[in-house]
Amino acid sequence: MLKHPLYHDLSNEEIAKLKGIAKWQSYMPNDLIINTGNRSRDILCIERGFVSVRITDHQGSHVEVARLKEANLIGEMNFIIPTRRTADVLALSEVEAEILPYDKLCLLLSSEPLLASKVFAALNRQLCAKYNGMLG
């Protein structure tokens, strides 16, 4: 299994702290994992499976903007910027996801400044990789 993107630069102790607040969720093919407009700010890491990220265009059609597989994050933009979810995320296969609940993650990061800096650096790398992937 690929290493969770937030865990790359963390010590075993720091990983244990994040795992201590995480919860696991399974999804079946065609399950809606994230719904456009939802207010949740949780971060999800795909541990197994594939998802489709879709938006609704001006004509009301669903357009796939990305396909993500294991070791990709979902929701990192929404964690940083307080807004509603901007896309639907649909399971294309059986999916296992590790979920870091927003409120618990904020509480942990506010008490652990070094851990917070490492987590935000990892979120930045993920956002840059997705942005660069959209450009070409």
pLDDT tens, position by position, 30-70? 999 999 888 999 999 999 999 999 998 899 898 998 899 99
pTM of the model: 0.86
Domains of the chain, by residue range, sit at 5-135
Model confidence at 124: pLDDT above 90: no
Domain 5-135 has CATH 2.60.120.10: yes
Long-range contacts for 58-66 (Cβ within 8 Å, ≥24 apart)? 62/88, 65/134, 66/130, 66/133, 66/134
Q: Which of 12-26, 60-74, 108-122 has the lowest mean pLDDT?
A: 60-74
Residue 101 and residue 37 in contact, taking contact as beta carbons nearer than 8 Å = no
What confidence category does residue 1 fall into, taking pLDDT thresholds of 50, 70 and 90?
A: very low
Q: Which secondary-structure segment (H or E) carries 134?
A: helix 113-135
Which residue reads 């499976």 in tokens?
49
R_g over Cα of the chain: 15
Q: What is the mean pLDDT of residues 77-97?
A: 91
Task: Return the closest-CA partner of residue 95 out of 41, 25, 43.
Answer: 25
Rounded-to-integer distance, Cα 126 and Cα 38, Å = 21
